[in-house]
Structure 1
Amino acid sequence: MSEAKTIDVIVIGAGAVGENVAGRVVQKGLSAVLVESDLVGGECSYWACMPSKALLRPSTVLRAARGVPGAREAVTGTLDAGQVLDRRTSFTSNWDDSSQEEWVASAGIALERGWAKLSGEREVEITHGDGSTTTYQARHAVVLATGSTPTIPPIDGLADLDYWTTREATSAKEVPASLAVLGGGVAGVELAQAYARLGAEVTVIARSGILGNYPPEASGLVLDALRAEGLNVHTDTATTSVRKENGLFVLDIGEGRSVTAEKLLVSTGRHPHTSGIGLESIGLDPKKLTRDDTGRVPDAGGWLYAVGDVGGIVQLTHQGKYEARMTGDAIAARAQGTLGDHAEDWSPYTSTADRRAVPQVVFTDPEIGMVGRTLEQARKDGVNASETSLEIAVAGSSLHSDDYSGWAQIVVDEDRKVLVGVTFAGPDVSEMLHSATIAVVGEVPLDRLWHAVPAYPTVSEVWLRLLEKYGM
């Protein structure tokens, strides 16, 4: 039998994005239910952002200490892989979501455990672990916050093998002797460096190069660091087939070459998780899901929303949480009759935040922090753009470490004299990124930005050097 319930808002997916949209509508006076088939808190909490960064941080601290005379001499041991893995596990609460479940209850949000599927207009059917079902009817909105899923390339032999995705890599109980990483994107490169520093022999096979969405000067610093640390990195190299021999993965990479490793991590991108959630039942194509700036799916009659990775705009947790807050506000405003039917009636800044001022960090060592558009992206968008770039060589970087190596770039809209993109590469540059984000989102005029004086001696003094080189 199926139990029937009615509620204001149904949110499918209880990751960080789903939690935020549910919390937002409840704060605005509506009722909400979260539906989750896995751990409450989602991918970021248990298999992505938090555990991957926890794997990277200890080795980054160790290298930083070794880069400063006086501290270097105090470092007498090596990285303790067991302790690193234990600390990683502490950040996932040993993959126990009871604390997240408690937060959901304390926020006044209902929680249903099970697999959700759209079954009609404003209707969701939930199948529980015991086979029973519950049907919910939403008064105002159904929100898809189902995230993304790994994209697995059609490589001969791969489908039959027990390879790792990022889930297995971030939750591993021990460090393999050797690891092959298929893919040169953010997740693959971060985990490659993490495991190499934990003692694995790591080989990266990147068909399209390393970190191709970032300026080559920035990604080049990371590539140089990986190779200097002993990682084998094959760029512009395609894997033609994969097999197992004597318990080891063997990857054929062309021209008679092969890579052998104990474990294989496939990290070749992700795509929106839209299959199996019933979109066909309401006449929508799962492969062509679109949304407006409020998160609303325009072809679903005004009640269906998509936020975070499933929305297909930006696959970043912080950006998804921003979208969730905006969408929660829009749902509540429409329910209360204070928001029109059109996205343009909403906020003039959502497009800026979602498309033209997205901050992102690669947590390798060195890091890359970027917000907005590259020079090529800006010009493709029709912007009369210029770039100014230089090495990061200021008093603050010299104090940071004796071997500090970094690079910085600003992309300027020459017609409006505002920044449309900023990139930093180097140790700890992520801590400078929010200032760049404010400058891009706020469209701070360059002649005004000139008067934002960076403190001496900090790495942020690179802002002054960039403006000086630009000609301010």
Structure 2
Amino acid sequence: MNDVSRAYDVIVIGAGPAGENVADRTRAAGLGTVVIEHELLGGECSFWACEPSKALLRPVMARADARRVPGFRQAADGPLDVPAVLAHRDTMAEHWKDDDQVDWLESVGVDLIRGHGQLTGEKQVAVETPDGDTVRLTARHAVVVATGTGAALPDLPGLDSVRPWTSREATSSSEVPGRLVVVGGGVVAVEMATAWQALGSQVTMLVRSEAGLLPRMEPFAGELVAEGLREAGVDVRLGTSVISVTRREPAAGEVRVELKDGTETTADEILFAIGRTPQTGKLGLETIGLAPGDWLRVDDTCRVTAVPDGWLYAVGDVNHRALMTHQGKYQARIAGAVIGARARGETLDTSKWGAHTTTADLVAVPQVVFTDPEVASVGLTTREAARVGRRVEVVDYDIGLVAGARQYAEGYRGTARMLLDEETGVVLGVTFVGPGVGELLYSATVAVTAEVTVDRLWHAVPAFPTISEVWLRLLETHRNRGTAEPR
């Protein structure tokens, strides 16, 4: 065993999208940077989340859209080619090899150390490598934690022996289970229920809340997604809690799920999609006075607030600001610029939309749920607006009435909602639900981020006939309220 010591300007622990991006930005700022990773470069998103899950879902969405097109319905009415879908998923996940990611890291001049990294003191990190060596690192300017999150599991007796699926198994399985129980009602739950039902599983969803699916979004989003899932054949059960899970032997035996109401259900596999936990338990946080296993709370420059002297940063899911890949990459770009500026002794621009502050995390987080129908949202929802005391005008429109939607699909069902600040007319939030609405989201994100008013949006003309014409219909609905006769 060898013990080696090295010094870098910046040490990054974790090489998912956020870690890779902050390393790229600090290196571009002229700082010597090293990345530590004990799994695959590219992290959860590349291998067990965004990329493989969307590869599973894309054929499902394409077939659903084709079935709504007159003249094409019969041609698209057969089953999916499951081996082809899984093979495409494997390709998108690079067959769980990270050679391309390693090549990219080398191309931008960032060093890589394979192994498990943990803090050992102020600006100190020790890496245990796969061959048993220890590499001791010192950071001249900053240590960045980008270790992400893992799947949360319930505290149920004997759960380990059941070998439940988490999001990792759900996105990487090489076989389609005959029966699949999905526990949860959030994004991972609805997406994986959509994918595996279409691939041939008999899917049952067990959702603890009576409020419905996608509880953090507008209520109509969860209602329309639940309707779509049920029409596809998914058994969606609300207000249902799991109290025990057992698996019959041998290893591939049947899973028995006992519910709080005294009933039970059985399946070949069970997926728990009930949330995420920070991967900080083995990070050595106790050596710098923090609690292992906690989220790393940060300020708007991504600097960990509980650590004196400002040398520790956290980007991506691990800081709990916005658990989405694109927001983690956004944070990484900002944090990289911040670290570079501080290293050069420059004054930071931390104004609301300044170069060194993650304002979008607070007001303009975009999200797409890849189900049938799709859900796309950014900014405030009506419930969030009420919670933070914002007075808003709610403008709704049936997307199915838009000419572009009728061209897109026969019998198009969908809803658009725009929230406006009552005093200024600024767009504060937008939610779209319907086939193909994910491609509308960037325009909504620009409107919220740029604090665009409805008066200015009136001059942004959507092309006809596209689904984006829903923007015009929302604006007309808002304007007509001011001119309509009293009811």
Please say if 1:238 is aligned against 2:244. no
Please say if 1:470 is aligned against 2:478. yes
Q: What is the Cα-based RMSD across aligned positions, in Å?
A: 1.6
**1-structure distance, mates of 2:68, 2:353:** 50
Please say if 1:148 is aligned against 2:145. no
CA deviations on 1:100-149 (whole Å, 9 max, x unpaired) are: 10110011000000000001111100000111100111111000000011
Output the amino acid matched with 1:262: D
Output the amino acid matched with 1:34: V
Please say if 1:339 is aligned against 2:340. no
Post-superposition offset of 1:345: 9.5
The answer on whether the counterparts of 1:26 and 1:109 sit within 8 Å (CA) in structure 2 is yes
Q: How does 1:182-331 map to 2 (within 5 A)?
A: 182-208=183-209, 209-245=212-248, 247-286=253-292, 287=294, 289-300=296-307, 301-331=309-339
The answer on whether the counterparts of 1:352 and 1:441 sit within 8 Å (CA) in structure 2 is no
Output the amino acid matched with 1:469: T
From the superposition, tell whether residues 207 and 430 of structure 1 become closer, same or farther in structure 2 (CA, over 3 Å).
Answer: same
Note the residue ranges of structure 1 that are not aligned, 5 or more in a row.
none
The answer on whether the counterparts of 1:244 and 1:250 sit within 8 Å (CA) in structure 2 is yes
Post-superposition offset of 1:76: 6.2
Task: Name the residue aligned to 2:484.
Answer: none
Output the amino acid matched with 2:265: V
Task: Name the residue aligned to 1:130.
Answer: 131
The answer on whether the counterparts of 2:368 and 2:376 sit within 8 Å (CA) in structure 1 is yes
Identity %: 48
**1-structure distance, mates of 2:412, 2:353:** 45
The answer on whether the counterparts of 1:375 and 1:386 sit within 8 Å (CA) in structure 2 is no
**2-structure distance, mates of 1:68, 1:266:** 35
Post-superposition offset of 1:159: 3.7
Post-superposition offset of 1:352: 3.2
The answer on whether the counterparts of 1:48 and 1:166 sit within 8 Å (CA) in structure 2 is yes
The answer on whether the counterparts of 2:55 and 2:92 sit within 8 Å (CA) in structure 1 is yes
Post-superposition offset of 1:356: 1.0
**1-structure distance, mates of 2:384, 2:442:** 21
Secondary structure class of the residue paired with 1:179: strand
CA deviations on 1:377-397 (whole Å, 9 max, x unpaired) are: 012112111211121121000
- Which deviates further from its counterpart, 150-159 or 99-108? 150-159
The answer on whether the counterparts of 1:248 and 1:263 sit within 8 Å (CA) in structure 2 is yes
The answer on whether the counterparts of 1:249 and 1:261 sit within 8 Å (CA) in structure 2 is yes
**2-structure distance, mates of 1:359, 1:75:** 31
Task: Name the residue aligned to 1:9.
Answer: 10
**1-structure distance, mates of 2:78, 2:453:** 50
Secondary structure class of the residue paired with 1:193: helix
**2-structure distance, mates of 1:115, 1:255:** 44
**2-structure distance, mates of 1:356, 1:217:** 21
**2-structure distance, mates of 1:145, 1:113:** 15
The answer on whether the counterparts of 1:156 and 1:240 sit within 8 Å (CA) in structure 2 is no
Task: Name the residue aligned to 2:429.
Answer: 421
- Scaled by the length of structure 1, what TM-score is found? 0.97
Post-superposition offset of 1:261: 0.3
The answer on whether the counterparts of 2:161 and 2:247 sit within 8 Å (CA) in structure 1 is no
The answer on whether the counterparts of 1:292 and 1:343 sit within 8 Å (CA) in structure 2 is no
Post-superposition offset of 1:343: 5.4
Task: Name the residue aligned to 1:433.
Answer: 441
Secondary structure class of the residue paired with 1:149: strand
Note the residue ranges of structure 2 that are not aligned, 5 or more in a row.
481-487
CA deviations on 1:397-423 (whole Å, 9 max, x unpaired) are: 000011211000011111221011100
Output the amino acid matched with 2:8: I
CA deviations on 1:206-257 (whole Å, 9 max, x unpaired) are: 1123111111111111100000111001112111111123611111123331
Q: How does 1:377-396 map to 2 (within 5 A)?
A: 377-392=384-399, 393-396=401-404
Output the amino acid matched with 1:50: E
Task: Name the residue aligned to 1:406.
Answer: 414
Post-superposition offset of 1:75: 3.3
